[in-house]
């Protein structure tokens, strides 16, 4: 399957994977605990994602990607609709920014602008390296 354009919600897509892909060691349906151990999260998170109790937007992108990979799917298969193909660190950062107050967001924007300016200056120096220190 392609990116996150598959039919259904994240919960429906994840449930479909559980229903159609069996554990090669047991020839049975995977349990939430088996999958959780394989991807590094709690079995309750897996259960809540399958049931739609936990919004995928509030879940670390890395977990959704590891879940997709566990079932042999494209990394973005379980990403929420509209997120496109995205770097998991960028997506996780964007989800955290949504919880910041307008004043906090203004400060963060200033910090990011300052870092970008410092890195741009460092990159234009004749002795600049890829590891520009700030």
Task: Report whether pLDDT(36) > 90.
Answer: yes
Please report the sign of the dihedral spanned by the C-alpha atoms of residue 93, residue 34, residue 10, residue 45.
negative
pTM (whole model) above 0.85? no
The architecture in CATH of the region 10-83 reads Orthogonal Bundle (1.10)
pLDDT at residue 101 is higher than 90: no
């Amino acid at each position: 399957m392609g990116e996150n354009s598959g039919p259904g919600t994240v919960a429906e897509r994840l449930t479909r994977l559980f229903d159609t892909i069996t554990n090669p060691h047991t020839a049975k349906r995977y349990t939430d605990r088996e999958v959780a151990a394989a991807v590094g999260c709690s079995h309750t998170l897996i259960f809540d994602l399958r049931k739609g109790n936990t919004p995928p937007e509030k879940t670390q992108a890395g977990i959704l990607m590891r879940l997709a990979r566990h079932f042999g799917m494209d990394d973005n298969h379980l990403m929420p609709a509209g997120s496109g193909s995205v770097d998991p660190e960028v997506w996780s950062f964007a989800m955290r920014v949504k919880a910041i107050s307008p004043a906090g967001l203004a400060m963060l924007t200033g910090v990011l602008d300052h870092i970008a300016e410092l890195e741009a200056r460092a990159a234009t120096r004749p002795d600049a390296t890829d590891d520009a220190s700030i």
